[in-house]
Amino acid sequence: MSSRSSSKLGRSIALHLVLTPLALIWLFPLWMMAVFSTMPDRGIFSPSIELLPHGNFLDNVNNLQRDTNFIGAIGISVSVAVTYTFLSVLLTSMAGWALARYQFVGKGVVVAIILGTITLPYAVVLIPQFIMVARDFKLANTWVALIVPPLFNSLGVLFMRQSFSMMPTDLFDAARVEGVKEWRIFLFVALPLARPMLAALAIILFLSSWNNYLWPLLINSKPGAMTAPVALGTLIGLTKVSWGGIMAGAVMLTVPMLVVFVLLQRHFVAGIAAGAIK
């Protein structure tokens, strides 16, 4: 073996020696979440070290359902996330299209305002949003309150603006010369071409809605109107509560997203790399 390839082997071994323990540490909390969700409460709170799954998952789900209507909350979460994702993709891609493809009076101002306020912390708008939605519009504990206010998110606009402006102008001009109306160009030429970007955006938006905690906690705190994370959060810190149940809930919140992540990793990574979340 040449010294060249043996030094390569050495580096390869070193690489895996560093990465493997780090990866195991990183997987550990997820693994423990899965393990806890299959253990009875007395197993979780026993002095022995348990690192392998048991068979109590369904019992834990029942315990959770006894503590709070988690299945109902999941239903709300799914409906809200789906509706929010659809609306947000539609609104932000329309706005992104306009900013990418038209010259119009006030364009510079609109872009400047979006870019200028994008790093402001969400905390700044929390109180006025709450006062407006709860007191002025009287929409607390409704789906509208969960879906509409978070639609302001401007990262999607910037992401779609970028996507559309990377497409060749000729394509849209060709349609324009053929007399195709602008909204049809958007619908039948631009959107189909943006499919990978739309997928990335949709995944990120769905995830952000699915995991959203603070806003739903504030605005939909009534039992029966809570989203799944909020419902689960109410149990954490209570004394007479099934921790196996809480873990089962955590698994039900997490595993579907992990599956989506594994199946659509490419879109996920593309969406995050473009800075479309947080």
Rounded CA separation 207/277 (Å) = 9
- C-beta separation of 96 from 155 below 8 A: no
Structure tokens at 13: 């071994």
Number of alpha carbons in the 13 Å side-chain half-sphere of residue 232: 24
Nearer to other proteins, 23 or 58 (CB): 23
Structure tokens at 66: 């006894």
Structure tokens at 48: 């022995």
Residue 51 Rama label (left phi>0; alpha psi -120 to 50; beta) = alpha
x/- track of binding to other proteins for residues 9-28 (CB under 8 A): --xx--xx-xx--xxx-xx-
The letter for the amino acid at 12 is S
x/- track of binding to other proteins for residues 131-170 (CB under 8 A): xx---------------xxxxx-x--x----------x-x
Q: CB of residue 57 vs other proteins: minimum separation in angstroms?
A: 15
x/- track of binding to other proteins for residues 203-242 (CB under 8 A): ----x--xx-xx---x----------xx-xx--xx-----
* Residues 172 to 191 in contact with other proteins, rule: CB under 8 A: 173-184, 186, 188-189
Quickly list DSSP for 207-218.
HHHHH--HHHHH
Q: CB of residue 68 vs other proteins: minimum separation in angstroms?
A: 12
The count of residues interacting with other proteins (CB under 8 A) is 114
Q: CB of residue 252 vs other proteins: minimum separation in angstroms?
A: 9
